[in-house]
Amino acid sequence: MSNKVLLAAAMAAAFVVMPALADESCGSPPLAPAIPPVSDLTGKSAAAVHTEVIDTFHQVRAYQAALAPYRECLLAASGTDKQAIADAQANPDKDSKTKIANLQQEMDSLQKFYDGTIDTEQQVASQFNDLDVAACKVDPTVCPKKQ
């Protein structure tokens, strides 16, 4: 099974368990770019390989840029939940235990989803690195020189 299929399946699974609050207040998470497999470089000219790597690089950078505000939103939602827990603890009522438990569960879900964005970003970066290394073998003139 290709890495793209595995990445898509992992992302789909993560989106299914995304907490409702994150979906409502933060919108949909940024979609990771599809990194071409290294095998796609076979038989291409050096110029075509270079263009594909540069285009993919720009897609990865755009994805990373979109992740920052999305993650900030998840953190802000978690911060709101922390404050609500503190308020419920400071002013307890008959529903406080249930409220606190629900808020804690939501915070845990937000954290898991945040962590999932980190995992996906690392996988995207790793796949891009593999593509870049393979491109250097096709055309070493575009790769950084070792000192």
Say which residues have a Cβ less than 8 Å from residue 74's Cβ, sequence separation at least 6.
22, 26, 110, 113, 114, 117
> For 62-100, how does the pLDDT look when each residue is reduced to its tens digit (9 = 90+)?
999 999 999 999 999 999 999 999 999 998 999 989 999
Work out the average pLDDT over 127-147.
Answer: 83
Radius of gyration of the chain (CA): 21
Work out the average pLDDT over 118-140.
Answer: 93
Q: What is the DSSP letter of 24?
A: H
Predicted local distance difference test score (pLDDT) of residue 131: 94
Whose structure tokens read 């404050």?
Answer: 83
Predicted local distance difference test score (pLDDT) of residue 67: 97
Predicted local distance difference test score (pLDDT) of residue 138: 83
Predicted local distance difference test score (pLDDT) of residue 139: 80
Give the pLDDT band of residue 146 (cuts 50, 70, 90): low
Nearest alpha-carbon partner for 72 in 110, 105, 103, 104: 110
Task: Tell whether the torsion through CA atoms of 1, 112, 121 and 119 is positive or negative.
Answer: negative
Q: Answer whether residue 110 shows pLDDT above 50.
A: yes
> For 15-64, how does the pLDDT look when each residue is reduced to its tens digit (9 = 90+)?
444 444 444 678 889 999 999 999 998 889 989 998 999 999 999 999 99
| Amino acid present at 7 | L
Tokens of 138: 């096709």
Q: Answer whether residue 8 shows pLDDT above 90.
A: no
Higher pLDDT, 139 or 9: 139
